Chain A
Amino acid sequence: MQALTNRAKAVDRKPLSLIEKLYVWNIGKGMIITLGHFFKKKATISYPEEKRPFSPVFRGLHILNRDEEGRERCTACGLCALACPAEAITMEAAERLPGEENLYREEKYAAKYEINMLRCIFCGLCEEACPKDAVYLSETFAPSNYQRKGFIYGKQDLLIPSPKENPGEYQKAIGNRKAN
């Protein structure tokens, strides 16, 4: 039968020769290999001090975006919650009162916006569903927690820092993305 790949190797069932029976020669060869690995560059990344860069399309924790004047973009339309296959997003809408124009961009805003990070599968469908570019997935992931309620992220956890009040933090959160 013809081999499918050139990697196929016939099994050798010859009885062991005397040198092979003494194991010494082969053990010596193995030990040279392991000694070689002793001096090789290590694959370990010391995690908290050193981090592997994520791919630019990595889908991590959600961020609620603001516009360039620092107003929340979300209008609580509910399309993200509808799109979410894991039903991780809930929200409550509220009407913008006079004098809050510097806080919310449209007349309607999300008074409560919660994502359950234990339910979330980080598929990114909310990001695609959002008509206002208000929610997107960042390049970080959820830190560990001792309690389930610690994984329910509210608005204060999700909102991006304001570009007006805190431009440095805003730039850090926006990362390589195009600010919109």
Chain B
Amino acid sequence: MHSALLAIDLFLVIEKLVLIIGIVSISLVIAMYETYAERKVAAFIQDRIGPNRAGPFGILQPLADGLKLFMKEEIIPNTSNRLLFILGPCLAMMAAMMTSAVIPWGGKLNVFGREVSLQIADINIGILYVFGVVSMGVYGIMIGGWASNNKFSLMAALRGASQVISYELPMGLSLIALLMVTGSLKMSEIVGQQMDSVWNICYQPLGFFIFLVCAFAECNRTPFDLPEAENELNFGYHQEYSSMKLGFYLFAEYINMFISSVVMATLFFGGYDVPFFNDAAHADWGNWLVALQGAVLLIKVCFFIFLFMWVRWTIPRFRYDQLMNLGWKTLIPLSLFNMVVTAAFVLWKSNGYKF
């Protein structure tokens, strides 16, 4: 056997492990504070002030909520399928966390003379990976809903499955148009192209809009929160769940929101590109530049998270037939149209703008 294959680069393993731990914990902390932000945004939009007792401005509220969830009694219904009942929230959480692996969080850090890329896995099919993992998220809903052995949960699981499948189509179609523009599936290359020229939102405004709507549907956020419609289905697929298993489901939703915000920022808003600022010309800033890039990405992500919440507290839930009509009769034709127009432009451009 070839010896070079066996020689494992120990530093690479350590570097990736540190990155994974860092990114997972950052995602968890952000998800925690998303719950706080959600309550604050909801309160402010409804002319209230929101949680403000635990710590200054209620900053410790998510800790209190988490502690409460952990302390609660854990109930597994005796008619449920025990294995699947436990597997459901685990799958939901896992699918939510896995997407972050292919996202470029910043440029290359310089640690002790070693170049460290702030991306766990720079695979060349990055977007396909995101799609694969995101569509796994529906298994958490389906398995959890089915294993609960409850009519409401089953209804919610059915709704969730059909909704996610319906909205994955326009999402994929809108991304195909984007991929025609970029010519690459690699996340780091898509960001690199945007750093050199303008952001993809300028080329693909319609594509971004379709992607945004579909991201709302994929995250089961209002106006597409039919799987957990509390007033129709008693909280839907996680009705039978309690304690931290419920917490996992709720957490998975917030992590999904964070990750889809990151994906949107990366694909359409230049990722970690600092706007109105030539990153390449300031390479001598070294690690500070990378930190700045990470901060800029975080700001973009925060804006999208705010958008998610803003929409949630503005728009009421769609009816099921409206949801399906919007998905199949409006978004798919729109994204097909977007795809054809983009393809024509790309062809025209490669032909030197001649017919």
Contact = CB atoms under 8 A, between A and B. Distances in A.
B47 A42 contact: yes
Contacts of B124: none
A23 B209 CA distance: 13
Given A30-B314, A31-B314, A34-B313, A43 B48 contact: yes
A177 interface: no
A27 B315 contact: yes
A34 B52 CA distance: 21
Contacts of B330: 21-22
Interface residues of B, number: 16
A34 B47 contact: no
B46 A37 contact: yes
A31 B311 contact: yes
A178 interface: no
B48 A37 contact: no
A44 B48 contact: yes
Interface in A10-35: 21-24, 27, 30-31, 33-35
A23 B41 CA distance: 23
B310 A34 contact: yes
B318 to A, nearest CB: 9
Contacts, number: 38
Contacts of A30: 314-315
B323 to A, nearest CB: 11
A34 B47 CA distance: 10
Interface in B35-55: 41, 44-49, 52
Contacts of A23: 326
B47 A37 contact: yes
Nearest to B318: A23
A23 B45 CA distance: 21
Interface in B210-246: none
B98 to A, nearest CB: 31
Given A22-B330, A35-B310, A40 B315 contact: no
Contacts of B49: 42, 44, 46
Contacts of B45: 34, 37-38
A27 B48 contact: no
A17 to B, nearest CB: 13
Given A21-B330, A22-B330, A42 B48 contact: yes
A24 B216 CA distance: 14
A46 B49 CA distance: 9
Interface string A54-93: 0000000000000000000000000000000000000000
A42 B311 CA distance: 20
A34 B314 contact: yes
Most A-side CB within 10 Å, residue of B44, B209, B311, B330: B44
Contacts of B52: 46
A38 B42 CA distance: 9
B15 to A, nearest CB: 42
A30 B313 CA distance: 10
A24 B310 CA distance: 14
B208 to A, nearest CB: 13
30 contacts: A21-B330, A22-B330, A23-B326, A24-B209, A27-B311, A27-B315, A30-B314, A30-B315, A31-B310, A31-B311, A31-B314, A33-B314, A34-B45, A34-B310, A34-B313, A34-B314, A37-B44, A37-B45, A37-B46, A37-B47, A38-B45, A40-B47, A42-B47, A42-B48, A42-B49, A43-B47, A43-B48, A44-B49, A46-B49, A46-B52
List 10 tightest A-B contacts by C-beta distance, closest first. Answer: A34-B314, A44-B49, A34-B45, A30-B314, A38-B44, A42-B49, A31-B314, A43-B47, A44-B48, A37-B45
Given A35-B310, A43-B47, A46-B52, 10 more contacts: A22-B330, A27-B314, A30-B315, A34-B313, A34-B314, A37-B44, A37-B45, A37-B47, A38-B44, A42-B49
